[in-house]
Amino acid sequence: MFTLKELQDLINNAISNEKIGREPFSLYDPINYTLESGGKRIRPALALMACNLFTDNINPAIKPALGLEIFHNFTLLHDDIMDHAGIRRGKPTVHKKWNENTAILSGDAMFIKAYEYLLDCRSPNFRDILKVFNETALEVCEGQQYDMEFETRESVSEDDYLRMIELKTSVLLAASLKIGAMIGGADNADAELLYKFGKNIGLAFQLQDDLLDVYGDINVFGKKPGGDIVANKKTLMLIKALELAANDELKTLKNLLSDKNIDSEKKITAVTEIYNKLNIKSIVEEQIKRLNADAVRFLESVSVNENKKGELIKLAEKLTNRIN
Amino acid sequence: MFTLKELQDLINNAISNEKIGREPFSLYDPINYTLESGGKRIRPALALMACNLFTDNINPAIKPALGLEIFHNFTLLHDDIMDHAGIRRGKPTVHKKWNENTAILSGDAMFIKAYEYLLDCRSPNFRDILKVFNETALEVCEGQQYDMEFETRESVSEDDYLRMIELKTSVLLAASLKIGAMIGGADNADAELLYKFGKNIGLAFQLQDDLLDVYGDINVFGKKPGGDIVANKKTLMLIKALELAANDELKTLKNLLSDKNIDSEKKITAVTEIYNKLNIKSIVEEQIKRLNADAVRFLESVSVNENKKGELIKLAEKLTNRIN
Smallest Cβ distance to A130: which of B24, B119, B141? B119
* Pairs of CB atoms within 8 A across A/B: 92
The amino acid at residue B317 is: E
Any A CB within 8 A of B220 CB:
no
Q: Which of A82, A108, A113 sits opposite B105 (nearest CB)?
A: A82
* Helices assigned H by DSSP within chain A: 4-17, 25-36, 42-54, 59-82, 94-97, 100-118, 126-152, 158-165, 171-184, 188-215, 218-221, 227-230, 236-244, 247-258, 264-277, 280-301, 310-320
Model confidence band, residue A259 (pLDDT cutoffs 50, 70, 90): very high
Nearest to A134 among B27, B104, B119 (CB): B119
Residue A322's pLDDT is 59
Residue B321 has pLDDT above 80, yes or no: no
Q: Give the best residue of A26, A75, A93, A105 to mutate against chain B (max B CB count within 10 A).
A: A105
Which range has the worst mean pLDDT, A269-273, A318-322, B78-82? A318-322
Establish if A115 touches chain B: CB-CB under 8 angstroms: yes
Model confidence over A43-78: pLDDT tens digits?
A: 999 999 999 999 999 999 999 999 999 999 999 999
For residue A81, the chain B residues in CB contact (below 8 A) are: 101, 104
Contact A141 B111 (CB under 8 A): no
Nearest CA in chain B to A126: B127
Distance from CA of B149 to the nearest CA of A (A): 9
Q: Do residues B32 and B132 touch, judged by C-beta distance below 8 A?
A: no
Task: Tell me if chain A has a CB within 8 Å of the CB of B104.
Answer: yes
User: Between residues 222 and 281 of chain B, which touch chain A (CB distance below 8 Å)?
Assistant: none
Report, as an integer, the average pLDDT of B238-253: 96
Q: Min CA distance, A95 vs chain B (Å)?
A: 13
Q: How confident is the model at residue B324 (pLDDT cuts 50, 70, 90)?
A: very low
Higher pLDDT: B38 or B15? It is B15
Residues 6+ apart with CB under 8 A from B205: B169, B170, B173, B319, B320
Q: Which residues of A touch B144 (CB under 8 A)?
A: 105
Nearest residue to A244 via CA among A274, A270, A219, A223: A274
B161, with CB counted inside 10 A (0-12, 13-18, 19+), is buried
Amino acid at A320: T
pLDDT tens, position by position, A74-124 = 999 999 999 999 999 989 999 999 999 999 999 999 999 999 999 999 999
What confidence score (pLDDT) does residue A223 get? 72
Q: Quick one: DSSP state of residue A246?
A: -
Rounded to whole angstroms, how far apart are CA atoms B110 and B112? 5
Residue B322 banded pLDDT, cuts 50, 70, 90: low
CB contact under 8 A, A127 and B126: yes
Note the pLDDT of residue B323.
44
Contact B104 A104 (CB under 8 A): yes
Q: Which of B27, B134, B144 comes nearest A145 by C-beta? A: B27
> What is the Cα–Cα distance from B200 to A169, expressed in whole angstroms?
45
Q: Using pLDDT thresholds of 50, 70 and 90, give the confidence band for residue B266.
A: very high
B319-to-A198, B136, B171, B296 alpha-carbon distances in Å: 51, 21, 15, 13
| CB nearest B134 (choices: A24, A115, A134) | A115
Q: What is the pLDDT of residues B96-127, one digit of tens each?
A: 999 999 999 999 999 999 999 999 999 999 99
Kindly tell me if the per-residue pLDDT of A323 is higher than 60.
Answer: no
Which residue of B107, B134, B142 is in closest CB contact with A27?
B142
Whether the CB of A24 is below 8 Å from some CB of chain B: the reply is: yes
Predicted complex ipTM: 0.95
- Decide if pLDDT at B280 tops 50: yes
Chain B CB contacts of A78 below 8 Å: 104-105, 108
Query: What is the SS3 assignment for A226?
Result: coil
Q: What structural domains and CATH numbers belong to chain B?
A: 1-123 (1.10.600.10), 132-324 (1.10.600.10)
For residues A67 and A175, the answer to whether their CB atoms sit within 8 Å is no
Per-residue model confidence as pLDDT tens digits over B155-179: 999 999 999 999 999 999 999 999 9
Q: Which pLDDT does position A222 carry in this prediction? A: 67
Do the Cβ atoms of B104 and A113 come within 8 Å? no
Q: What percent of chain B has pLDDT over 90?
A: 93
Question: Does A123 contact B at CB distance below 8 Å?
Answer: no
- Percentage of chain A with pLDDT > 70? 98
Whether B105 and A144 lie within 8 Å, measured CB to CB: yes
Q: Are strands B91-92 and B87-88 parallel, antiparallel or unpaired?
A: antiparallel
Which residues from chain A sit within 8 angstroms of residue B127, using beta carbons? 119, 126
Give residue A324's pLDDT: 40
The answer to whether A143 and A165 are in contact (CB under 8 A) is: yes
3-state secondary structure chain B: CCCHHHHHHHHHHHHHHCCCCCCCHHHHHHHHHHHCCCCCCHHHHHHHHHHHHHCCCCHHHHHHHHHHHHHHHHHHHHHHHHCCCCEECCEECHHHHCCHHHHHHHHHHHHHHHHHHHCCCCCCCHHHHHHHHHHHHHHHHHHHHHHHHHHHCCCCCHHHHHHHHHHHHHHHHHHHHHHHHHHHCCCHHHHHHHHHHHHHHHHHHHHHHHHHHHHCCHHHHCCCCCHHHHCCCCCHHHHHHHHHCCHHHHHHHHHHHHCCCCCHHHHHHHHHHHHHHCCHHHHHHHHHHHHHHHHHHHHHHCCCCHHHCHHHHHHHHHHHCCCC
Backbone angles phi, psi at B88, to 5 degrees: -140, 125
Q: Which of A214-218, A253-257, B83-87, B157-161 has the lowest mean pLDDT?
A: A214-218
Q: Does A28 touch chain B (CB under 8 A)?
A: no
pTM score = 0.96
pLDDT of res. B10: 98
Is the CB of residue A28 less than 8 Å from the CB of residue B147?
A: no
A105 to chain B nearest CA, in Å?
A: 7
Q: How far is Cα B143 from Cα A48, in angstroms, rounded to an integer?
A: 35
- B76: closest chain A residue by CA: A105
- Percent of chain A at pLDDT > 90 equals 92
